């Protein structure tokens, strides 16, 4: 386990070692630390997928203000893993992915809807979508 972040000045005192269940696999954690931090220390970077485009999500704010680390914890969906404390027997799994968060077939939406922030603005103003993405296109 990576101890460098756990020894950081100002970090909460380390709790007793516990084992949490991550999608059927045991993961070592310290009692009281955020589930997201325990999974990160275990080398798990993708905590779920975005709802719309199924892009990978992981740690972002670690303060409960974003929804990047939402997971199904103890059977309850959309729990922020950075706010839930690890305890013995806790079960967590990633969500918004098929068949798994590491290989998500629904991420094919990126091919159908490529990232191009100018498209929405140009399209809403009746502009040329293809030109907004730097491609040939027609008016929407």
Task: Write the pLDDT tens digit of every residue in 73-117.
Answer: 999 999 999 999 999 999 999 988 777 777 777 777 667 776 665
Please check the confidence at residue 120 and state whether its pLDDT lies above 80.
no
Spatial CA neighbour of 70 closest among 98, 42, 92, 99: 92
β-bridge mates for residue 29, sequence order? 18
Which pLDDT value is given to residue 79? 95
Spatial CA neighbour of 14 closest among 95, 72, 85, 92: 85
Which pLDDT value is given to residue 53? 76
Higher per-residue confidence, 136 vs 8: 8
**Is this model's pTM higher than 0.75 or not?**
no
Model confidence band, residue 134 (pLDDT cutoffs 50, 70, 90)? low
Please check the confidence at residue 121 and state whether its pLDDT lies above 50.
no
Does the bond joining 99 to the residue before it have cis omega, within 30 degrees of 0?
Answer: yes
User: 1-103 architecture in CATH?
Assistant: Roll (3.10)
Furthest C-alpha separation in the chain: 62
Q: Give dist(CA 100, CA 116) in Å, integer.
A: 26
* Boundaries of every domain in the chain: 1-103, 105-140
Most confident listed range (39-43, 116-120, 125-129): 39-43
């Amino acid at each position: 386990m990576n101890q460098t972040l756990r020894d950081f000045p100002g970090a909460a005192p380390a709790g007793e070692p516990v084992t949490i269940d991550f999608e059927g696999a045991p993961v070592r954690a310290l009692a009281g630390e955020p589930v997201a931090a325990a999974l990160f220390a275990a080398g798990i970077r993708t905590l779920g997928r975005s709802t719309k485009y199924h892009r990978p999500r992981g740690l972002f704010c670690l303060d409960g203000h974003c929804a990047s680390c939402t997971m199904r914890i103890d059977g309850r969906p959309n729990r922020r893993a950075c706010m839930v404390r690890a305890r013995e027997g806790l079960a967590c799994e990633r969500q918004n992915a098929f068949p798994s968060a590491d290989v998500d077939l629904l991420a094919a939406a990126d091919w159908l809807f490529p990232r191009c922030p100018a498209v929405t603005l140009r399209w809403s103003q009746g502009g040329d979508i293809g030109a907004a993405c730097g491609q040939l296109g027609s008016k929407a």
